[in-house]
Amino acid sequence: MRILILGGTSEARELACALIAAGLDVVSSLAGRVRDPRLPEGAVRIGGFGGADGLAAYLRAEAITAVVDATHPFASGITANAARAAGQAGIPLLVLRRAEWDADPSWDVVADIHAAAAAVRAWAGDSVFLTTGRRDLAAFAGDSAHRFLVRTVDPPDGPVPARMTLIMDRGPYTDAAERALMREHGVGLLVTKNSGGPMTVAKLRAARDLGAGVVMVARPPLPDGVTVVATVDEAVRWAGPGSAGPGSAGPGSVRRGSGGG
pLDDT tens digit string along 95-151?
Answer: 999 999 999 999 999 999 999 999 999 999 999 999 999 999 999 999 999 999 999
pLDDT (0 to 100) of residue 242? 54
Q: CATH for 108-217?
A: 3.40.50.20
Q: How distant, in Å, are the alpha carbons of 31, 117, 139, 215, 226 from that of 162?
A: 29, 14, 12, 20, 41
Q: Report the alpha-carbon distance of residue 120 to residue 110 in Å, rounded.
A: 11
Contact 255, 249 (CB under 8 A): yes
pLDDT confidence tier of residue 244, bands split at 50, 70 and 90: very low
Q: CATH for 2-99+221-255?
A: 3.40.50.720
pLDDT at 12 over 70: yes
Reported as a single tens digit per residue, the pLDDT across 29-79 is: 998 666 667 787 788 999 889 999 999 999 999 999 999 999 999 999 999
229 three-class SS: strand
The torsion of the CA quartet 223, 225, 230, 232, rounded to 10 degrees, works out to -100
pLDDT (0 to 100) of residue 39? 80
Q: How high is the mean pLDDT of the chain?
A: 90
- Residues 117-121: contacts with CB within 8 Å, 24+ apart? 117/143, 119/191, 119/215, 120/146, 120/189, 120/191, 120/215, 121/145
Q: What percent of the chain has pLDDT over 70?
A: 90
Going from N- to C-terminal start, the domains of the chain cover 2-99+221-255, 108-217
Domains 2-99+221-255 and 108-217 belong to one CATH topology: yes
Strand 127-130, strand 108-110: pairing: unpaired
pLDDT (0 to 100) of residue 61? 97
* Beta carbons within 8 Å of 169's beta carbon, 6+ residues apart: 151, 153
